[in-house]
Amino acid sequence: MTTTEPTTGTPALTDQAQVLLPLFAGYVGQRTVALGLRLGLVEALATAEPSGATPDDLADRLGLDPFYVAVWCRAAFGAGVCDRDGTTYRLAPHMATLLLDETSPAYVGGTFTLLDQPEIFDRFAETLASGERLWWDTCSPEFIRKVADTGRPFYTRLVPSGLARVPGLAERLDAGCAVLDTACGAGVGVIRLAQAYPRCAVTGVDGDAHSVEVAAEHVGEAGVADRVRLLVNSLEDLDLESSYTLVVNNISMHECRDVDRVTDNIRRALEPGGWFVISDFPFPDDDAGLRSIPGRIMSGIQFFEAQIDDQLVPRRFYDDLLARHGFGDIGSSELTPMHAVTYGRAPGH
């Protein structure tokens, strides 16, 4: 129970310390998990199932210092990532899926190592006075890889089950049609779309040439290059024929420099009645939301968004956007507290 100062009604100093202490603990947990992922400790624990491993076993397997590994194991236990029995450690239930399984819709491992990248906090601090912005072409290849890892579970939830929630869409995709992934990044989505809908032709477009090069490599490795076309183009200058049945945008619509121009271009690229599906972080628009765990995590992402001169937006922003560009049958669904989908159909159906 929160105690209050008798005269002012403000919380007591000791209660306010309780606001700060979990922040230290969260920071320690974040660094511990990111370190464990980067150095292979989490993976080594996963492969040690079902017997588990001692810090000495892990150190031996990975060529690391046993004393340091013991310190990591204890911190991972404290964070709830591991269980232990004497000196034997095991990953806690479902941690292997959550932290390592890139194919799972619940995968969050990529976010730990993304938050450690200098583009999120370090560069923000360095440019706090100048406000100097950056764009994707000046982000490191590693950062782009980590962003793709973070975007991957969004695509996994979207394709096919998230798209199946959009009335009438799944039938068209199963029958075969043209699909466009706008701001396709490193190509995770175009591959998912091509694999989930073998009768569809998929186009991916992104304004960053390096991301599209990486996407081309991944598309080739996935064996879907015959049905995938990739373009380097800013969405503000996109000029495609009205031939697409579906346009998707994953965790990128909030980045548009001119969101109205982009939405017009997308409406023009759609056939009459075609669907535009926006999959994005729903940034909270009230105080309670900002203080929620998802709100606090999304506030962290805003440090990077600020540097590329934008911010995540509340989901309702997209209802208004689609409505003012003539889209009909507008709807939405929440796939997780940090992932919402908003959709609408182009005029003319």
Ligand X SMILES: C[S@@+](CC[C@H](N)C(=O)[O-])C[C@H]1O[C@@H](n2cnc3c(N)ncnc32)[C@H](O)[C@@H]1O
Chain residues in the site for ligand X (CB under 6 A): 136, 147-148, 151, 154, 183-186, 188-189, 206-208, 211, 234-236, 250-252, 255-257
Helix H or strand E encompassing 99: helix 95-100
Cβ atoms of residues 179 and 248 within 8 Å = yes
Query: Which of residues 82 and 191 has its CB atom nearest to ligand X in the complex?
Result: 191
Query: Which of residues 57 and 119 has its CB atom nearest to ligand X in the complex?
Result: 119
Compute the radius of gyration of the chain from its Cα atoms: 23
Cβ atoms of residues 170 and 158 within 8 Å = no
Query: Which of residues 203 and 250 has its CB atom nearest to ligand X in the complex?
Result: 250
Give residue 160's region: left, alpha or beta (phi > 0; psi -120 to 50). Answer: alpha
CB of 182 to ligand X, least distance (A): 7
Query: Which of residues 56 and 102 has its CB atom nearest to ligand X in the complex?
Result: 102
CB of 264 to ligand X, least distance (A): 13
CB of 40 to ligand X, least distance (A): 24
Beta bridge partners of 341: 279, 333
CB of 251 to ligand X, least distance (A): 5
Query: Which of residues 54 and 249 has its CB atom nearest to ligand X in the complex?
Result: 249
Strand 270-280 relative to strand 339-345, pairing: antiparallel
The gap from C-alpha 87 to its chain's centroid, in whole angstroms, comes to: 36
CB of 246 to ligand X, least distance (A): 15
Long-range contacts of 261-267 (CB under 8 A, 24+ apart): 261/236, 262/182, 262/235, 262/236, 262/238, 263/321, 263/322, 263/325, 264/325, 265/235, 265/236, 265/237, 265/238, 265/239, 265/240, 266/182, 266/235, 266/238, 267/325, 267/326, 267/327, 267/346, 267/347
286-324 in b/e burial notation, b at 16+ Cβ within 10 A?
Answer: eeebeeeebbeebeebbbbbebbebebbebebbbebbee
Query: Which of residues 201 and 235 has its CB atom nearest to ligand X in the complex?
Result: 235
CB of 250 to ligand X, least distance (A): 4
Query: Which of residues 57 and 255 has its CB atom nearest to ligand X in the complex?
Result: 255
CB of 50 to ligand X, least distance (A): 34
